Structures are given as C-alpha cells and as structure tokens.
Amino acid sequence: MQVQKDNSVFFISMAVTAATVFWGIFSPASFDAAAKGLFNVLIEYFGWGYMLAMNIFVLFPILLCMSRFGKLRLGEPGSKPEFSNISWFAMLFSAGMGVGLVFYGVGEPVYHFMTPPFGAAAGSAKAAEDALRTTFFHWGLHPWAGYAVIALCLAFFQYRKGAPGLMSSMFLPVLGKKGNASMLGKTIDILAIFATIAGLATSLGLGTLQINSGLKYLFNAPQNVTFQLAIITVLALVYTGTAVTGIEKGIKLISNVNLFLACLLSVSLFFIGPTMAIIESLMTGLGDYLSNVVNQSFHMAPYGGEYKGWLGGWTLYYWAWWIAWAPFVGSFIARISRGRTIREFVSGVLVVPALGSFTWFAIFGTSGLNLELTGAAKIAEKVAADISIGVFEIYTHYPLGGIMSVIMVALISTFFITSANSATFVLSMYSTQGDMNPPKVRMGIWGVLMAALAFVLLMSGGLQSLQIASIAAAGPFAVIMVVACWCLWKALKQDESTFTELN
C-alpha cells in the first residue's frame, strides 16, 4: 500500500516539465540557446548511438518473432485479444504515426527531390526515386521497431508477471519485484515521462503549424503565435476530454474516425491524382527500400561534408523523435495488445503499419513530385519555405482540392487528438504507479502541461526547437531501451520451462 501512495514520480516529473515551460515563457532566448547547444553535442558525439540503437530495435523483435518464443501469448495461455483487428490497427496507426504523417507526406519527398542527399541531380527523375526511397526509410520499419520493443517488454512483464504498467517494470530481472519503488526505478519512470512529453510536444507543435497553414489557405486565417495558441487550446480541451472518457469510448472512437478519414483522403487522391505513377512509385520505392535498408541503416558521415548536416537534420532527428515517442506509444500498444502472440504482435506492429506508411507517401509524395516533373506546377520553393503547406499546395492543382483540403484539416486535428489523448492516458498511468485506469484529474494536468510545452517550443523557435526537443529527450532513453531488450530476453530464457505454450 505504501508504494501505491508514493506520488514522488508524479511530482518530480511535473515539476521538471513545469520548470521547462516557465523557462521557455520567461526567457525564450536562453532556452533556445541551451537547446541548440545540447542538440549540437548530441548530434556530434552520440549520432552513431541513435543509429546503432535503432538497428538493434529492428533486429530484436524480428528475431524474437522467428524464435520459439513467437507463439507465446502476451497474457495468460488461451487468452484472447481485447480488440478486433480493425480497431487494433486503427489505434496502432493513429497513436504511432500521429500528425507527422500528414506534415511530411508531401513536404519530405519534395524537399529531398530538390536537395538530394545522395548525389543525384536536383529535380531529376533519379532524385525523385531517391527522395521516395529516403522517405520510406524514415517511415518504415525503424519507427515501429522502437514501439514494438517497448510494447513487447511492457506487455510481457505486465501480463505474464503481474508487474504494474511502468517503464521500470521492464527491468524486473535487474531491479527485482520491488524495483519500481527504488531510486533507479523511479528515475527510469521520470525519464520516460520527460521523453514522452518532449516527443508529444514536437508532434503537437507540428500539428498546430499545419492546421494553421491549412486554415490560412482555406479561410485566410492569421498565421501567428496568438492564433496557434488558440488552436492548441481548443484541441487540448478535446484530447483531454477523450482521454478522460477512456480507451473503450473516446480513444477508440476517435482512432476509428481518424483511420476512416486517412483512407478516404488517400484513396481519393489515388484516383484523382497520377494513378499509374503512384502505383509504379510504390513498387519502385518498396524495392529500393528493401535493397538499400541495411546500407542506409548504418550510413554515417565520418568525413564530414554536406551529408553530415543533412543526416542530423533528417535521419538522426527522426530516430530521436521515434525514440522519444516509444515510451508512450509502446505503453499504449501494450495496453491494447493483451492476448496476442508475440508473432502476431510483431507482424501487426512492425509490418502492417509500415506498409500503410509506404502507401501514404507513395500517394501524396508522388502527387507532389509528379507536378514538378511534368511541369504542371512548381511547388518546391513554397515547400522549402514552409514544409507544412505541402499537402495544401498540391490540392490546389487537383480536382476536388478545396473539399479535400477541408477534410485534411479535420484529419490533422484527429491525428493531433489521437496522439495526445493516448499520451495523456499513458502519462497518467506512469505517474500513478501503473494504474490502468488513472485518475481523471491527473489526465487533465498532463493534458495542460503537454499543450503548454508545445506552445513554448513554437514560441521559442518554431520547427527547429521542436526537433531539438525530441533529440535531447531521446538520448538517455535510447540506452534504457537497449537494456530493456536484454532484460526481456533474460526473463524469457529464465522462465522458458514454465511456458506451456512452448511445449
């Protein structure tokens, strides 16, 4: 009972987050300078660590899936999944990708097309192929592998060992049964909270920038910090409210709506856009991805050059962003995956969403690249100036663009809400000793703090500050995730004889 009454994790993590928010509000210049300094140090001296860690996260669940442990259930033997496959995929996709999928759907391929990272001539057909391959790499197996690692570890120790839903529970073989209450256990939980807050603030900031861009395109709304604060405030009320209603009601409902809108927009653009080019781009991009994924996964810049700067601004930023997202997305996926086998889990979490991301970027990315290659429109310069307008820019050149733009703003809002309400729920779990039904008041507190940090990052430096926040928060948590893989493997080996499913 004493552990259940211990609120030290909640108060410490809340104090650190609140202090960060106040620092950004009252001294944005020093906040921005300190963040950039930390960013440069991490990229210069720990960039290789992000790359290596992400590769470990890809290999570990695949090897586990292929091993004899693949048929082990994340729950009691014979237990069944709590949610249907469609609802499960909807919640996976909505929580895992978030608003970044829309933010970069057109902007990233077009950006790489005009500034190729691998030596192709800017604006050439080869640059277009490389741009899509690079985008596939950033949104393929690697991000979902990070989520899968956390979710597998948490689900195993929660549902097989009866441990609470906390990050420190993954270290049961090291910390022992009372490890959650130890100083090291609490430190791990606090780091998980801070990584989650930073990762989500990044996504909320991106979503706010793009909603603002969409409203400006559609209704000539003002594009400034004051209007962005209004957007964050309104959506914060919605995502906190849906989190309070719980997974079965609010979160599941919004996720299903989100998946429907995403399918509607992608299918519509597939038919009204360059259909044959999209099909061929998907085929080519998938082949290029599979052919180059190993090489690109280890490709650094040991001798400097322009590629080193590109690597820090794109691949390493993405890897850090995914790691920062892993605590909350992994916890959420573990929460909705009880009763599934490890093999089923890895296939669903690692492969299916990655294919969904490939399809999304093939449709939206090719639609943008096609305008440039055919000379139908020049959108690259506008996207380079403001990457958030990419999707709205292409809609002006295709039929039904105005209607699609309105629906896209709704999709961005639902992505914003699904990511934030999942995170609000998970943060409340972390700060209540793993309570699967955390207090509503605590959800409200975290909802407000997330919105406040997103606004501070926007105010202090826009997109660059958002990127820096993710990279800074992900450093220590990457180490925690690597150790968690070892702990899960150790626990599986130790208890192998007790698993009736393996006999």
Within the chain, how many helices (H) and strands (E) appear? 21, 0
Rounded distance between C-alpha atoms, residue 4 and residue 96, angstroms = 30
Per-residue pLDDT, averaged over 242-265, amounts to 74
Name the β-bridge partners of 73: 341
Per-residue pLDDT, averaged over 213-225, amounts to 85
Rounded distance between C-alpha atoms, residue 402 and residue 487, angstroms = 52
* Pairwise pLDDT comparison (144 vs 236), residue with the higher score: 144
**pLDDT greater than 70 at residue 446:** yes
Q: Of 150-159, 237-246, 269-278, 382-391, which range is least confident?
A: 237-246
**Other C-beta atoms lying within 10 Å of the C-beta of residue 295:** 8
**pLDDT greater than 60 at residue 462:** no
Give the single-character DSSP code of 73.
B
pLDDT (0 to 100) of residue 58: 96
Highest mean pLDDT among 85-89, 304-308, 362-366, 432-436: 362-366
* Structure tokens that stand for 116 in this block: 């190729």
Q: Helices 183-219 and 440-461: crossing angle, nearest 10°?
A: 60
Rounded distance between C-alpha atoms, residue 181 and residue 163, angstroms = 12
Per-residue pLDDT, averaged over 450-457, amounts to 80
DSSP string of 360-384, one letter each residue: HHHHHHHHHHHHHHHTS---HHHHH
Assign residue 448 a region (left: φ > 0; alpha: ψ between -120 and 50; beta: otherwise): alpha
Q: Mean of the per-residue pLDDT values for the chain?
A: 84
Where does the pLDDT of residue 293 fall: very low under 50, low under 70, confident under 90, or very high at 90 and above? very high
pLDDT (0 to 100) of residue 418: 74
Which residue reads 């962005």 in tokens? 228
Residues 6+ apart with CB under 8 A from 447: 236, 239, 240, 243, 420, 424
Over pLDDT 70: what percentage of the chain?
A: 92
Q: Helices 352-374 and 141-159: crossing angle, nearest 10°?
A: 160
Per-residue pLDDT, averaged over 8-27, amounts to 81
**pLDDT greater than 50 at residue 236:** yes
27-44: pLDDT as tens digits:
877 877 887 787 778 778
**pLDDT greater than 50 at residue 303:** yes
96-133: pLDDT as tens digits:
666 778 888 999 999 999 999 888 899 999 999 999 99
pLDDT (0 to 100) of residue 1: 34
**pLDDT greater than 50 at residue 429:** yes
**pLDDT greater than 50 at residue 2:** no
pLDDT (0 to 100) of residue 367: 95
Per-residue pLDDT, averaged over 427-453, amounts to 81
pLDDT (0 to 100) of residue 176: 77
Per-residue pLDDT, averaged over 188-216, amounts to 80
What's at 167, amino acid-wise?
Answer: M
- So where are the chain's domains? 8-494
Residues 6+ apart with CB under 8 A from 443: 240, 243, 244, 424, 425, 427, 428
Where does the pLDDT of residue 5 fall: very low under 50, low under 70, confident under 90, or very high at 90 and above? low
pLDDT (0 to 100) of residue 344: 92
Label residues 254-290 b or e (16+ Cβ within 10 Å = b). Answer: bbbbbbebbeebbebbbeebbeebbeebbebbbebbe
* Answer CATH for 8-494 from 1.10.3720.10, 3.20.20.70, 1.20.1740.10, 3.90.190.20: 1.20.1740.10
Rounded distance between C-alpha atoms, residue 2 and residue 433, angstroms = 11
DSSP-H helix ranges across 245-346: 252-272, 275-297, 306-313, 315-336, 342-346
pLDDT (0 to 100) of residue 246: 62
Residues 6+ apart with CB under 8 A from 355: none
Rounded distance between C-alpha atoms, residue 1 and residue 268, angstroms = 55
Output the furthest CA–CA distance in the chain (Å, rounded).
Answer: 69
**From the CA atom positions of the chain, what is the Rg in Å?**
22
Which residue reads 């959506």 in tokens? 235
Name the 3-class secondary structure at 341.
strand
Rounded distance between C-alpha atoms, residue 17 and residue 24, angstroms = 11
Which residue reads 């409902």 in tokens? 253
Per-residue pLDDT, averaged over 390-397, amounts to 90
Name the β-bridge partners of 341: 73
Which residue reads 């779990």 in tokens? 429
43-66: pLDDT as tens digits:
788 889 999 999 999 999 999 999
Residues 6+ apart with CB under 8 A from 153: 170, 330, 484, 485, 487, 488
**pLDDT greater than 60 at residue 11:** yes
